[in-house]
Amino acid sequence: MLIRGKSISGAQGARCLVCGVILGEVARSLGVCPTCIKTCPEKSRDYIERVHAQSRGIFGLPTRPPQSSEGIECKLCLHRCKPGKNQKGFCGVRHGSKQSMRIDGRSRAMVSYYRDPLPTNCVADWVCAGGTGEGYPCFANDCGPEVGFYNLAVSLDACNLNCLYCQNWSFRKVHLAPRWTSIDDLLDQVDDSTSCISFFGGDPGPQLPYAVKLACLARKKNPGRILRICWETNGALHPSGLRAMMKLALKSGGCVKMDLKAFNPALHRALCGFENSKILDNFARAAQWARERVSPPALVASTTLIPEFVGEDEIYALASFIARINPSIPYALLAFAPQFLMEDCPTTSADQAYACLKAAKLAGLTRVRLGNMDLLS
């Protein structure tokens, strides 16, 4: 892959660096085949971590969460970074000074935003109040799609995972020349036609205090009307932060959309840089809190279907995990678009997508859909 003129590749030739099998298109960027990633994680790890490190170095981001003995601990996400004075945290938002820890991602943030007319192509549009009218009249302005209203889409341009197939990878460019936005600057973008604010990224987690404060002020400034707060997250944040997200979503009629990347921990580590046990724990927590409001659903799950990596077996495992908690949690299966280190890979095939849809239903889920179907090959 080429980013800013620099080549990134984990493969030396077209054979798996562990077992020697000829690699398919998807695995060439990693240099290790899906079978070895799952069955020989220790042998695969050094090769995979090299690829992750290269992908982060281009944007001046740390290769691993810093743990300086003299650092100041950040407690916003599961990494608990302790960056030293001249170090950035893994997400790239804060460095190891008291001032940075106090204001960065709190009173100011690295963000981009736009106004998106409803109904929009949100992961949850098929079950949310803005896309369907579910929850009318308490949480929706119409008994159907909210035509004429807008979503203020706020991208929090930092992330605490490092997904090699990231669909929004270009947000990393901001770390080369940080641009900060105050809460007041963004608060001015909320007008009478704004019926929801959606925080995504990157991921909201590394800059969650900023987003929570913005959401609370926006709702306080617009009393007595519908203003939903929604979140898209990888789930790799402190449980207290997740609870803050869920409280705002429940109260406002919004939802938390959690992207479950993979079930197999070694595969999750290979694709995203870290294993997933605490993320799955967080999903289970969110599911319990979401029971406080049935309609519209307060929690939605999604997974991107990656050829050769995230197929029927992974979807069945993830869907079974969700179904054991609550079989009615909506689950969106998203077609893979070639991006970032996997830009030369094929898109999800229709055969794979429908096989995964069937697997999710067989696992016991009652609300499953295919998204991004225009991408299917």
- In the block, tokens 């990693």 appear at 30
Q: What is the pLDDT of residue 13?
A: 53
Q: What is the pLDDT of residue 120?
A: 86
Residues 349 and 292 in one domain: yes
Residues 187 and 78 in one domain: no
Residues 137 and 82 in one domain: no
Distance (Å, rounded) from C-alpha 1 to C-alpha 339? Answer: 10
Residues 100 and 120 in one domain: no
Are 160 and 77 in contact by the 8 Å Cβ rule? The answer is: yes
Residues 328 and 217 in one domain: yes
Residues 231 and 331 in one domain: yes
Query: For residue 277, which phi and psi values (nearest 5 degrees)?
Result: -60, -40
- Among 46, 80, 104, which residue terminates a domain? 104
> 283 vs 21, 170, 296, CA distance in Å?
36, 27, 18
Helices (H), 40-180: 41-57, 98-103, 129-132
Residues 242 and 98 in one domain: no
Query: In this structure, which long-range contacts are made by residues 130-134, counting pairs with CB atoms below 8 Å and at least 24 apart in sequence?
Result: 130/195, 130/196, 130/228, 132/296, 134/295, 134/296
> 223 vs 12, 214, 217, 219, 227, CA distance in Å?
59, 14, 10, 6, 9
Q: What is the pLDDT of residue 22?
A: 87
Q: What is the CATH number of the domain that holds 290?
A: 3.20.20.70
- Among 57, 73, 96, which residue terminates a domain? 57
- In the block, tokens 């020349």 appear at 177
- Based on the number of CB atoms within 10 Å of its own CB, is 4 exposed (0-12), middle (13-18) or buried (19 or more)? exposed
- Among 73, 104, 135, which residue terminates a domain? 104
14 Cβ partners below 8 Å, 6+ apart? 22, 23, 28
Distance (Å, rounded) from C-alpha 268 to C-alpha 275? Answer: 6
- In the block, tokens 């929570």 appear at 212
pTM of this structure: 0.93
How does pLDDT run along the chain (377 residues), one tens digit per residue?
A: 444 434 444 444 578 999 999 887 777 878 899 999 999 999 999 999 999 999 999 999 999 999 999 999 999 999 999 999 889 999 999 998 999 999 999 999 999 999 999 988 889 999 999 999 999 999 999 999 999 999 999 999 999 999 999 988 999 999 998 899 999 999 999 999 999 999 999 999 999 999 999 999 999 999 999 999 999 999 999 999 999 999 999 999 999 999 999 999 999 999 999 999 999 999 999 999 999 999 999 999 999 999 989 999 999 999 999 999 999 999 999 999 888 888 878 899 999 999 999 999 999 999 999 998 888 88
- Picking from 121, 143, 127, the residue whose alpha carbon sits closest to that of residue 329 is 127
Angle in degrees, CA 210, 216, 220, rounded to 5: 140
Residues 69 and 45 in one domain: no
- Picking from 99, 94, 87, 120, the residue whose alpha carbon sits closest to that of residue 109 is 94
Residues 241 and 203 in one domain: yes
Are 341 and 2 in contact by the 8 Å Cβ rule? The answer is: no
Residues 36 and 185 in one domain: no
Q: How many domains does the chain have?
A: 3
Residues 16 and 96 in one domain: no
The tokens for 167 are 């669909």
Residues 31 and 143 in one domain: no
- Picking from 74, 99, 77, 337, the residue whose alpha carbon sits closest to that of residue 203 is 77
- Domain span at 143: 113-375
